[in-house]
Copies of this chain bind each other. A is one copy, B any other.
Amino acid sequence: MKALAYEGEANVNVVDAPKPSIGGPTEALVRMTLTAVCGSDLHIYHGRIPGCEGCVLGHEFVGVVEEVGSEIRRFKAGDRVVSSFFSSCGHCYYCLRGWFNQCVSKATFGYGKHFGDLGGGQAEYVVVPLADHTLEPIPHDLGDEQAIFVGDILATGFFAAERAEIKPGDTVAVIGAGPVGLMSIMSAQLFGPARVFAIDMVDSRLELAQGLGAVPINAGQTPAVDAVKAATGGFGVDRSIEAVGDLAAIASAIECVRGGGTISTVGVPNHASGDFPYLQMWSKSLTFRSGWCNVQAYMRPLLDLIAAGRLQPDAIISHRMKLEEGKEAYRIFDAREATKIVLTP
């Protein structure tokens, strides 16, 4: 089958890989119908993730089930499904508590040996382990482009918004208006905030944010924290969301909330550790939440919201390409010439 493989830094190629097959009763074989390139794929692309040489890439995908193991209960061959970007077992200590992202059997698709050594979704076929707790059936009336992002970036944006504890009438700042930031804005709007501020330095992203009902603030033109405070009577916002993965962005997210507020961060931190304003956190009685998305808990309600027209995650797709064009797709995504690229086989 055709697949995109990582073959060294900045070197992603279309290769001819062996078609995978299911190896146990809890697995499923999926024929991919749509896949996407994710910001976190670029970490591999730049050689920052060890253990990925030769790996088939991709962890965002939808497809049609071709074959299921004997214990699969929630779908059957022929059903359309969307995948979480990681697998979970459904019955370990963490899964029983609803923390699927902490599953002791967790593995990430297309992320190399150190993340579970799973084949990726940027391929014609992919085998999904623990499939009953990793895949979600897609309602008939939803297209692939509508469904695909519930498995990663939309769920991540929703997770960010939910953990921000937004209440109707609150003000919210979202730091970063890339794909995850845009999904965070979209999701934050579901919790009834009075105003959502979008902070970024790229005008085209801020325009998309504005289209989602946010008030744009270009941090390249004005000090963003000052702008947020000026717009909130000097107090700051009730909640902030960080969707960049940069300690400076996190610092702004902390700085711009009022006393008693909440900071929710989902960007992968660019440093394992760094300076933190402990005294300010204490004197302002703040809550700081961080995390990578607990996808499995959100896929179904998000699909319902998309089917009802309340969320249009596909609006951020800027490029539709073929799997064969994968090399070029990585190049333009890395060059920031695209907001979001999807690929068909």
Choose, from A60-68, A263-271, A335-343, the stretch at the interface: A263-271
A99 to B269, CA, bound (A): 31
Within the complex, which residue of B71, B187, B260 is in contact with A99, where a contact is CB–CB below 8 Å? B260
Contacts of A194 on B, CB cut-off 8 Å? 301, 304-305, 307-308, 310
| CB atoms of A94 and B282 under 8 A apart | no
Q: Which chain A residues in 134-181 approach chain B with CB under 8 Å? A: 158, 162-163, 167-170
Q: Would you call A286 an interface residue if the criterion is a C-beta within 8 Å of the partner chain's C-beta atoms? A: yes
**Nearest CB in chain B: distance from A319 CB, A:** 29
Q: Would you call A74 an interface residue if the criterion is a C-beta within 8 Å of the partner chain's C-beta atoms? A: yes
Within the complex, which residue of B93, B281, B300 is in contact with A96, where a contact is CB–CB below 8 Å? B300
- In terms of DSSP, what is the predominant structure of the interface of chain A? mixed
**Nearest CB in chain B: distance from A311 CB, A:** 9
Q: Would you call A18 an interface residue if the criterion is a C-beta within 8 Å of the partner chain's C-beta atoms? A: no
Q: Would you call A279 an interface residue if the criterion is a C-beta within 8 Å of the partner chain's C-beta atoms? A: yes
Instruction: Identify 18 residue pairs between A and B in the complex whose beta-carbon atoms are under 8 Å apart, listed by A's number.
Output: A101-B285, A102-B284, A102-B285, A158-B168, A167-B301, A168-B190, A169-B304, A190-B192, A195-B308, A247-B278, A271-B278, A271-B279, A272-B279, A273-B277, A274-B278, A283-B292, A285-B294, A288-B289
Contacts of A308 on B, CB cut-off 8 Å? 194-195
Q: Would you call A287 an interface residue if the criterion is a C-beta within 8 Å of the partner chain's C-beta atoms? A: yes
| CB atoms of A274 and B272 under 8 A apart | no
Within the complex, which residue of B250, B276, B294 is in contact with A273, where a contact is CB–CB below 8 Å? B276
| CB atoms of A233 and B93 under 8 A apart | yes
**Nearest CB in chain B: distance from A190 CB, A:** 3
Q: Would you call A191 an interface residue if the criterion is a C-beta within 8 Å of the partner chain's C-beta atoms? A: yes
